[in-house]
Structure formats: C-alpha cells, structure tokens
Amino acid sequence: MTKPVTNLFVGLNAMVFLFTHDMTRIGGASLRQDSLVQWATYGFPIAELSEWWRIVTGAFLHADVRHLLLNMVMLFLLGRRLENQTTSPLFAAICCVSLLWGSAGALLAAPNTAVVGASGVVYGVMASVFVVEQRSGGDPWNEGLGTLIVVNVVLSFVVPGISVGGHLGGLAGGLICGWAAGDQRRRDLWRTRITISLVGFTGCLLGVLAAKTWMNPIL
C-alpha cells in the first residue's frame, strides 16, 4: 500500500538537498553558504526582517548527506507506519505541526543559532506513533518504540552540534498530535482536526515569539 505523504516529504527533502548542496563536497559539509544564509531557521531575520518562512524552510535543509540520510530513513520507516495507522491527511497535519513545534523549540533554545534539518518532524512522528499505538490498544514499548524514543532523547543531549530545542519541540508537538488523533478504532475527525489546527497555530506563534528573543552580539 502506497504512503503518498511519507514518500512526498522524503522526496521533497531529497530534491531540496540537490539544489542547496555543492556536489563536489558531498563527503563533508556540503551545504552551500547562500542556502544557509537565505533559508535556515534563525531568530534575527524572522524577528527583524519578517522572514517568517524560515520557520518552515529550515526543516528542509540538511548540513550534509549523513544528516539527510539519518533523518529520511527514520522518517520513511516511522512515517509509513503512522500514515498506515491514521490517514494521509492526518499524517500530513502531524508532520506540519511537528515541524512548527520543532522550529519553535530550536528558536526558543538558541535564537542566535542558524538551525537546519527535519529532526523536529522525525521526533514528532516518532512521538505520535507511540501515542496513537498506545491509545489504539497496541504496546509500543514491547515493539521497541519507547526505547527508541528514550535513546534518541538521550543522544540529543550527548551528541554535540544537535539542536536539543528542535528535537524536544518536535517531540512535544508530536505527543500532543498523537493525543489529539486518539484511538484510531474510534475516530473523532472533527475534534482531531480542530485540536491539531489549534496546536499548529500555537507552534507557529511560539516560533515567531521565540525568534524575538534573539540578542545582538555587538551590544
């Protein structure tokens, strides 16, 4: 059974990678400087130049091919699982909300740092799978999903160069979305739609407000 939203999101990330990286440096940090400057999630241009789209575009940039592959493999495996458990439109909404909350978390934790990567989406999907499966009668701990989340959260604090705020923000957004999606054996579509829409709006608002906490290093 095809999973159109999962495949679309992975495909978009791969396409953006091709257009934003120097292929002659593919083994290292190949992200082009102009792409980082123009599209990364960063407090100053969002707050002072009204470049609000950076709350979204930073999630489609990756530092190097390893960064891309790690995120896309996780998203492909967990995304197909969640899209199969719910519906494609609901899964798309969860991805969008997780992205917004991941960006908000990154900006709240480090507004003066340019952040890239789809990790917020990955963490959000991971959290949503856990909650949806648990509320639908499954046992995500027995299947190793709970352990996967714990290990990844610990690694977020241990591995240098990782946006802890981005990971935890995406995780929080995904947990709320999973709760809103609820038991998939008894779907309440209107309640789910309204709740996830409000959560998405809140994530966007938090991102804009968090961007305003940036500090001018010259002052």
Residues 87-136: tens digit of each pLDDT? 999 999 999 999 999 999 999 999 999 999 999 999 999 999 999 999 98
Task: Estimate to the nearest angstrom the gap between the alpha carbon of 151 and the chain centroid.
Answer: 17
Determine contact, residues 85/39, Cβ cutoff 8 Å. no
Q: What average pLDDT score do residues 67-81 get?
A: 95
Rg value, the chain, Cα: 17
Query: What are the structure tokens assigned to 116, written together?
Result: 């890239």
Instruction: Give burial (CB, 10 Å; 0-12/13-18/19+) of 85.
Output: middle
Residue 187: pLDDT above 90?
no
Share of the chain above pLDDT 90, in %: 79
Lowest pLDDT segment from 2-6, 14-18, 55-59: 2-6
Determine contact, residues 170/98, Cβ cutoff 8 Å. yes
- The total of other beta-carbon atoms located within 10 Å of residue 99's CB is 29
Residue 64: the pLDDT is: 92
Residue 27: the pLDDT is: 72
pLDDT digits (tens, 9 = 90+) for 138-170: 888 888 889 999 999 999 999 988 999 999 999
As a whole number of angstroms, the distance between CA 194 and CA 219 comes to 43
* Domains of the chain, CATH where assigned: 4-211 (1.20.1540.10)
Kindly provide the b/e burial profile for residues 196-208, where b requires at least 16 CB atoms within 10 angstroms of the residue's own CB: beebbebbbebbb
Taking each helix axis from N to C end, the angle separating 119-135 and 65-85, rounded to the nearest 10 degrees, works out to: 20
Residue 217: the pLDDT is: 60
Query: What are the structure tokens assigned to 85, written together?
Result: 């458990």
60's CB contacts (< 8 A; 6+ apart) are: 12, 13, 16, 39, 118
